[in-house]
Structures are given as structure tokens and as C-alpha cells.
Structure 1
Amino acid sequence: MSARWRLRRRRARERSRRRRALGLAVLALALVALGVLAYLYLTRKTWWEIALEPAPASCRCVAFRLDDIQDFFTREAQVDLIKIFLEEGVPLTMAVIGGSLHDDRELIEFLQPAASAGIEAANHGWVHSDHTALTGREQRDSIVRTNDRIRALFGVEARTFVPPENPFNDQTLSIMKEFGLTHLSGSVFLKADQPPFPLKNGDMIFHFPQTAFVSDVDTPTGVWRLVPPEQILEMIRDSVGQHGFAVVVTHPIAYYDRTEAGYVYHRALLEPLRELLREVKRGFKVVRIDEIDRQGWIPKDVPRTLRLREHAVSWRGGATRLATGAEVAIEVRGERLVLERRGGAWPAPFVLLLPEAITPGAPTILAAGESLPTLRWFNPEAATWIVYADPPPWARSLQVMPQGGPAPGR
């Protein structure tokens, strides 16, 4: 063999080795790429979370509640209190004791035009006693008879129930639902419920409890005292900050002194209330209790628009921002909400996740066509979905799901 031929053989073997090495390298790269693609497929994005700022239209509203409207006692204070609200143009919810408003025609004739002028007549039971101590039939009788009395006296249907002494139970809620009472106002100081308050079958009773008070009673002595206006304003601000609304309660008897000769009325004690109403009007929207509705406790005449603060795509490894500035318009249609995306660069299909709105400690997802709450994921194919119920603005979290199954670990 010549040296030239051996050189050619050596070069051919080297080229062959290089080709094999290159082939192996390409194969390795292909396997790596395939592995990466498989990993990306297995860990592909399956859900988006959009954090919402507190709704700019959130309630920031205050409702005043005057308890114990009746005609056997405190007539002067009842009339003067309601006059102040009418003169200041401030809405009021008056809680009527049905079985104790029938004898004083002069008081009734004063209350009738007040109810026509926008004062809400709420059901405060037939007698002023703890309704949780009553049987179901007794509760039903109390609520129904008071509804009938309010209808006969004022020509309106009561929508709010104020439980005497504030306690209530499941029977109370069922009876309210049966007879069209939509709003419950007890006391957050007695039973720390977070509205709205769901019935077991998924229907809603909207609970807006007392969160502040103009007057308070010393339980051991039974003596009423008036709270300084600055303390009332502090309670209102705290409640609006925490709940999005405040319900401020007063009682006519608080403007009387108990003496050996009996109760003495002091009209001058009402003037701080007038100043309080003016101060509250400057900083908050004042509504009746039945005007606070279910859409995040927003009064019915306020536009319902939420602005998205951040749009993030999430998967097992973390989160990456995709877009900002999207907007969701919420339109109320009867008992339903319709959510419509306007602008922004986020995927169209979505559902609304309502954290702890129905089931404490667990997220609840309500979507189109469903009448009962569920705890499962949806894969919607439309950009607009109808949902039922609504949590506070600060508790909302919008879940946007593409095709691909439920979010990992959810």
C-alpha cells in the first residue's frame, strides 16, 4: 500500500468519526429539545390569575337604622328623630314593632308621609323579643303579621328584617326568603357575620348588620348613653374600611333620662345627631339598608366597573406578568351578573372565582346556567359568562382558564 492510499484511509476514518460524533451530538440535542418540549407540555400554563384593585365604585355607604318604632312609649323622640332625617335629606331605615303600632293615630299619621318621603319601613317583629327563643311557627307569625301591618299602614312591602335584640337562626332566614324579605340587619357586635349571608339552598339573604351606634345601653343598669359624635365617625370609618359599608343604629329611648318620677325627654340631646348627619353626608353616600345591594355592597345607582391591576400567568414554577390595563364591566340583569371584558391583552375565556363567598374556608366558583354553588373548575369557551353572587371588592380574584384542564394544585 502506498503512503498516499493510507493517508486517504485515515482521512476517511476521521471524517466518518466526525460524522458519527456530529450525528450523536444532533441526536443528543434533539433528545434534549424533545425533553424540554415534553417538560413544557407537562407543565404548560393552565390558569391565569388577575388581581383586582378595590372597585372604584365600591359602596363607601352609610345606612342609619332607628329601632323600636311603636306607639306605647318614646313618641316625642321618634317624631323628632325622623324630622331631623327628613330636614337634613338623609335616608333612614325605621324598624317597626308590628304589634305595638296601632293606637296612636297622630303618630301613625306622621309616619305615613315619612314612609312616602323615602324612609324605609323595616320589619322589627310583632313583639320585641328574641326570635331565636320562638318556635318556627311563632317566628313565622311574628314576621308575617308585621309585614301585613307595614303594608296596611304605609302601603309598602317590607324588604328588611331587624331581629329584635339582634339574634337570628336558620328558621329566621327561611321565613324571610319565603315572604320576600331580602335584607337582614342584626348586629356585628353580637354575631360577627360577614355579609352576604347564604341560605343553605344557595339563595341569598343579604346581611348588613349594625357596625356602629349613636347610643348604647349599660346592660347591668339598663341606662342608655349617647356616644360622642367623633367616636361614631371613627366607628363608621373603621366599618367602611373593613366591610365597605356601615350601619349606624340608634334608639329613641336613649334621649330620655330615667328618674324616680318616670322618664324625662331631653330634645336638646338630638342636636349632636344633626351635626353627625351633616358630617357623614360630606364624606359618604348615605342610603337605606334595602338600597345596599348584592354587587359588592354597591348602591344600585353606582356604575359597576372593576379595573384590573395586574394580569399574570401562573404555572408550577411561578408567575410572569403578561399584560396590564384590562377592564371588566359588570352589568346586573335581574338576579344575575354579566361580566364583559373591555380592552386589555388577556385571554378571552374566563370564570369568576369567589373566594369564601359561599363556603367559608374554600373558594367557590359560580358560572353560567348554575343555580347552586359548586366547588369545581370550568373550561369556558365564551368571553362573557353569567355568575351569581359577589364577594367584597377586596376579596375578588378573577380566574381565566384556557383549554388544558384545571390549575395544578388547586
Structure 2
Amino acid sequence: MITIPELKLIAILVSILLIPPLAYGEYLGSIAVDISYTNGDRADYSSISMKVYQDFSKTPYKEIEAISGNPFNIISLPTGHQYKIVVYANGMSSGVGYVTLQESQQDVHINIPIPGGMRLNLFYNDGETPISSALISLKSSDNKTWVDGITDVNGRTVRFWVESTTENEHYTVDVKIGKHLLYSYFPLVLQPGIPQEIKIVTPWQAKFSSLVTVQLFNQQGKTVSISEGSFAVDLLSESGEKILQSKVNQIGEADFSNLKVGDYVFRAINLNDNSEWGRSSVTIDGTKTNFSILKNQTSVPIVQPTPRPTISSCNCVAFRLDNVQDYWLDNVQTKIIDTFAQKNTGITLGVIVKVFGNDSKLINDVKSKVASNTTIEIGVNGWSFEDFTSYNKTQQTMLLHQSKDKITSILGVTPFVFIPPFGKINNDTFYAMDKNGFTFDSAITGTSPPALLSDKIHNIPATVFTGYTYLENGTLQSITNDNIINGIQSSMQNYGFAVVTLNFQDYAANNGTRKENAPDLDKISKIQSLLDKVHDKGFRIATLSEVGNILSKPPMPSWIKDSANSWSEGNTPKGEFLKSIEYLVKEKIIQGLPASTSELKTMPDWVKHIAKWWSSELISDDEFINGIEFLLKQGIIN
């Protein structure tokens, strides 16, 4: 009979026999995976994951959700086996490599398709009316979200560059208006290396043609009567902005027509005492035409909204080059930067910091331009082009901190401009910016910092887009310089400035099937011509921070003009007027000089003409400031 100790011994012997041979005869090795696009450029690794299969197994031996570099070293692999390495970019199966691992370190090179560019164009069901301010999410077949964005007034998103689709794979676009209207568009197939314009026609009506009726009910559940007072119903946006008002009739109803689909608030007003009688949040989607409002338990006074501030204009245009990064079309990136530098014209470079710093050609070009040309500005376009709003305040602070440190280490400059990926930003982002000394953001329009930070951080959003657009007949056409100039003029009227975004992919040569790492010289010439036209229209071209500084300048004190007039007429000494200029520098009304600039002593007498013209209203405040600023920077006033 076998005793219990003997049974334990047998179990130990069996377990030893079942240990895989690795424990006795196999060694561990590693495989360095080098990933390139099919055009030979090194691949951006920020969106790449991998699955590693051993021998003929259909179950992954290793799954790597994100790689930390390119090449990437896969470690701790038993030697003596064949490995199949599948590369995924943006969730798409993009390339595969095979290695029979016999040594401690072996290499494999895997080609993946060039990313494709897409810009989404959203329309209501008539196919002509664009949908503005719609939220979009781009998802891969595994339901992972890779891109979030928002449409502009023309229903367009910024251009996204993501991995092209392969057979049996596609993207899905979720379109959302407000919190409750959702439409999914699929399958979206993306070709490699080509900037595609995707037209999406939603099932929503541009305007809801049916009459929408709102009924008011008192606390007894009956419709209000004339004896209870005089009432009206306000239609408010989600943010509380009043859109329309309709008087309540004798049977307790108010009617609205031609409403756009979306989320709204109906607010009932007692006109006798101007109090809020009740409210109801609703979604207008065409499926319901009757809504009701129940009376509040207590009367709520109506608070009048704060009037919008008058738009201050700097008459300036900023150009923004987004997604600057190593290797990807770097010849095109440097050519665009050179074009602005040669014209001594301002441009802000939005750098994706994680994938910036190893491409010596790009780095050396940017570094030399920044060192020799004050019109080239560096901004942070995210650490790895992530959606900052998906992170908490601490995480966002860390992302900006490491981005700022890396830029400073590589280029020797400190960035103050943050260009949020996908244009998305929240209050945590503003606090993270303040913590890291960022004073300007270029997010979507309508985004404002919280009150405590409103004097520290200024929003200069993108307002004009370049590239391609759809015509009414559905054909694709490049946006002309005249279209861009019209957009700039419209932006001036609406915001007092314009920010024009450039995507370097739009300016690459195309061999008919894919983008090449060479600039299309005709398109580069188009940039040069655009800059000339902007100058000819009398607009000033500036960097994003310069625009922000101009717009945030304190108002001109009236006594400064009095001082200029008095000096120009010989009633006060030159020293008194120089003190006025010192004040303008100290208060940052004159930009680009240290606030410590003081004890000005020298100024030519002919400057009296400028002072006289200004005090006589022959030139504007901006013209006067620009003139004095120029004289200070040139050392003519010192």
C-alpha cells in the first residue's frame, strides 16, 4: 500500500517530468523589430502595437499594447522557435515578419502601409447643409477610439493621418450632436498615402419643419390659464444662451418652428414678475413634437446674461504648422519652414514631442531657424498626440511638463503655446498649462479658461483651414488662396484675428499612388503667393503668442496721448514723453521688450511727427504702437 509521503514524492516527480524543456536546454533571446513605411520612411511608433506568435500556435505568445520606440526590442523569447510578429497601427493589421530565433539577438524588418489622410465633411440629410460643432470619434474594428474631433462652421474636421485599412477591416465614425444624438457611419475605407475627403450625410434634418408645441402645466397638473398670469417660453441652447422666445397662448401652449436638431432647454417665464416658472431639457430629433413644462415649487428670478465683450482686433494672421515630427515627410516639413523663414514671416510649429528629437535633418533645420529667426515659434502639439481631456489634472500636468522639458533640451527654447490634439481641452488642461507656464492655447473656438486663469491663459483658436474641400457636385477640389483670404477676412470680422492651419502632408509630391518625401514645388509656391496676398491686404503676420499678446494688451490710457500732444507742440520736455513710453513697455502695451526697460534717454526729434499724427487722430493706436515698438527694437529710441 502506498503511503501519503510516497504519494507526495510521486507527485513531485511527475511535476518535474512535465516541466517544459526550456528549464533544461533552452536559452532566452530577443528580436529587434524595425518598422518602416513602404516608401522607406521610418514609421511613427506612437500608435503601434504587436502580437507575437510562437511556432504554429494561434494564441499570441506575447501581446504588446504599445511600443516605446522604433526599432523595438522584444525580449525574453525562448530560442529554437519560429516567431510570427504581427504589427498593428491604429488597430489595423498592417504588417507581419517571421524570425527563427537561433541567437541571443536577431533583427527583423517589417514594412507597413503609409498612413492615409482623412478629413471628415459632415452634412444634414439634404447633403448640402454642413453640421458645425459636431463631435466625432474615429474607431477601428476592435472598437478602440483613435481620433476625436469637432467640426468647424463648414462641417469639416482637421485632417487626421491614421493607418490605412486592409482587407476586411474598416473604420467607424461616430457623429454626435449634444449628448443624445448619435449616428455611426461605416465602413470607412482609407487608402495609404492619400489625403481623402470623406463626405458623411447624416439622417438628421437641417431644420425640423414640423411645429413644436410646448405646454405649461401648474402644480395641479392642469394647463395654465390666463387667470394665472402672462407667460412666455424661451428656447435656450445647452450652454444657456437664449435663441428664441414664444408667447404662451390662451390654452397654455407656445409654438416653435424651423428648429435645428439637437439638445435644448425650454424655459417658461412668468412675465408678470419676470421669474422662471419652470424648465425642461429636451432633444429635438424629428420624432417628437409635443413637450411639457411643470411649474417649479418656488419662484426663481431670471438672471440676465453678461453681454459679450466687444471684439478687439489685432488685424493679424497667424500660421500654424501642425504635427511636426521626426522622419515622416521631413523634407516637406523643412521646406515649408524654410519658406516662412526666407520671407521673415511668423509661423508656429506644433511639435508632437514624443516623436521629435532623433531626426537630425529636421532637428538641425528647426534649431538653426529658431536660433536665427525670432519669427519661428515652437508650440507643443501633445506628447504623443493624445486626447488630453481623457487624462486627469495630474496626468495632464506631467504630459506638459515632460513635453516642455524635452523641447527645451533639444532646441534650447521654452514653449509657451499649447496646441491641443483634436482641439480638445478642459479645465484640468488649463490648470496643467498654468502649472507649466503655458500662456496660450490654440484649441477650438468658444473654449475659455476658468475665471481664475482668464488673465493668465489666452485662447487663439484655428479659424481658417487649408487643403481640400468638396464641391456641391461631390468632386474634390483644392482650397484656393482666394478662398483662404475670404476665410481670413471673415475670421477678422468674427474674432479680430485669423489662425490658418497647415498640414505638411498636403504639400508633399504625389506619384499617383502615395505621398513622397519631397515637396510639391507648385504647392510651395502657393504658400509663398498666399503670404504675399496676406501682406497686400494689409494684415500683419504674427506667431500665435504675438497674436495673444496683442489681443490681451491693456487699453491705451488717454493721458499717454495727451503727453504725446504736449511734447509734439513743445510744451513739455522730451524726458516726460520718454517716461510715457517706459510706461507702455512696463504695462506690456508695447510688446516684445523686457518689462524692465527703463531710463530711456535718446529719441530723435523727428519722432515728434509720429506723436503729432497720433494725437491728431491721423494714425491709429495700433499704428502708433507698432511704430514706437519698431524704433525701440532698432535702438533708435534707447
1:91 aligns with 2:338: no
Tell me which of the two structures has the higher relative contact order, counting C-alpha pairs closer than 8 angstroms and 6 or more residues apart: 1
> Closer, same or farther in 2 for the Cα pair 1:201/1:185, shift >3 Å?
closer
How large is the Cα RMSD of the aligned pairs?
3.4
Measured against aligned partners, the alpha-carbon deviations of 1:364-409 in whole angstroms (never above 9, x if no partner) come to xxxxxxxxxxxxxxxxxxxxxxxxxxxxx9xxxxxxxxxxxxxxxx
In structure 1, C-alpha distance between the alignment counterparts of 2:523 and 2:370, rounded to whole Å = 24
1:133 aligns to 2:390 (yes or no): yes
How many angstroms does 1:334 deviate by? 5.7
Q: Does residue 363 of structure 2 align to residue 108 of structure 1?
A: yes
Q: Partner letter of residue 215 of structure 1?
A: G
Which among 441, 453, 457 is matched to residue 205 of structure 1? 457
Q: 486, 501, 508: which is aligned to 1:234?
A: 486
Q: Which residue of 1 aligns with 2:425?
A: 168
Distance in 2 (CA, whole Å) between partners of 1:183 and 1:175 is 12
The alpha carbon displacement at 1:263 in A equals 2.3
Identity of counterpart residues, as a percentage?
25
Amino acid at match of 1:160: V
Shift of 1:294: 5.0
The one-letter code of the counterpart of 2:411 is: F
Residue equivalent to 2:28? none
Q: 1:202 to 1:236 in 2, by over 3 A?
A: closer
CA–CA separation in structure 2 for the residues paired with 1:267 and 1:250:
16
Equivalence for 2:505? 253
Specify the code of the residue in structure 1 equivalent to 2:400.
Answer: I
Q: Which has the higher strand share?
A: 2
Cα distance, 1:162–1:199 mapped onto 2, change above 3 Å: farther
- Are the structure 2 counterparts of residues 168 and 288 from structure 1 closer, same or farther at C-alpha, using a change threshold of 3 Å? same
- Residues 245, 297 of structure 1: 8 Å contact kept: no
Q: Distance in 1 between matches of 2:452 and 2:398?
A: 22
Provide Cα deviations, 1:331-357, integer angstroms capped at 9, x if missing partner.
6576788xxxxxxxxxxxxxxxxxxxx
Residue type at the aligned position of 1:102 = G
Q: Normalising by the residue count of structure 2, what TM-score does the alignment of the two structures yield?
A: 0.36
TM-superposed deviation, 1:239: 1.0
Q: Is the 8 A contact 1:136 1:171 kept in 2?
A: yes
Determine if contact 2:469/2:479 at 8 Å carries over to the other structure. no
Letter in 1 for 2:380: N
Any idea what SS the aligned residue of 1:204 has?
A: coil
What is the one-letter code of the residue matched to 2:529? E
- Which residue of structure 2 lines up, in the alignment, with residue 273 of structure 1? 527
Q: Does 1:186 align with 2:414?
A: no
Separation of aligned partners in 1, 2:449 and 2:384 = 24
Report the TM-score, using the length of structure 1 for normalisation: 0.55
Deviation at 1:216, TM superposition (A): 5.4
What is residue 257 of structure 2 aligned with on the other side? none
Aligned amino acid, residue 385 of structure 2: H
Q: Distance in 1 between matches of 2:469 and 2:444?
A: 14
User: Structure 1: 5+ residue runs without aligned partners?
Assistant: 1-51, 219-223, 308-328, 338-392, 394-410
Displacement of 1:77 after TM fit? 1.2
Match of 2:322 in 1: 67
C-alpha deviation, 1:267, in angstroms: 3.2
- Whole-angstrom distance in 2 between the partners of 1:152 and 1:204: 25
State whether structure 2 residue 408 is matched by structure 1 residue 151. Answer: yes
What SS does structure 2 have at the residue aligned with 1:292? helix
The Cα offsets for residues 276-300 of structure 1, whole Å up to 9 and x where unpaired, read as: 00111221111111112456456x9
Q: Which amino acid aligns with 1:158?
A: P
Deviation at residue 53 of structure 1 after TM alignment: 10
* Paired positions, count: 252
Aligned with residue 79 of structure 1, among 316, 323, 334: 334
Task: Note if contact 2:417-2:441 (Cα within 8 Å) is conserved in structure 1.
Answer: yes
Structure-2 separation of matches of 1:204 and 1:108: 31
Give the C-alpha shift of residue 227 in structure 1. Answer: 1.8
Distance in 2 (alpha carbons) for counterparts of 1:53 and 1:96: 33
Distance in 1 separating the partners of 2:524 and 2:342: 13
What is the Cα deviation at residue 83 of structure 1?
0.8
Cα drift, residue 215 of structure 1: 2.5
Superposition deviation, residue 211 in structure 1? 0.7
Partner secondary structure for residue 358 of structure 2: coil
Q: Which residue of 1 aligns with 2:44?
A: none
Change (3 A) 1:237 1:305: farther
CA contact (8 A) 1:53 1:306 kept: no
CA distance in 2, matches of 1:225, 1:105: 35
Secondary structure of the residue that 1:246 maps to in structure 2? Answer: strand
Specify which structure has the higher proportion of helix.
1
Counterpart in the other structure of 1:352: none
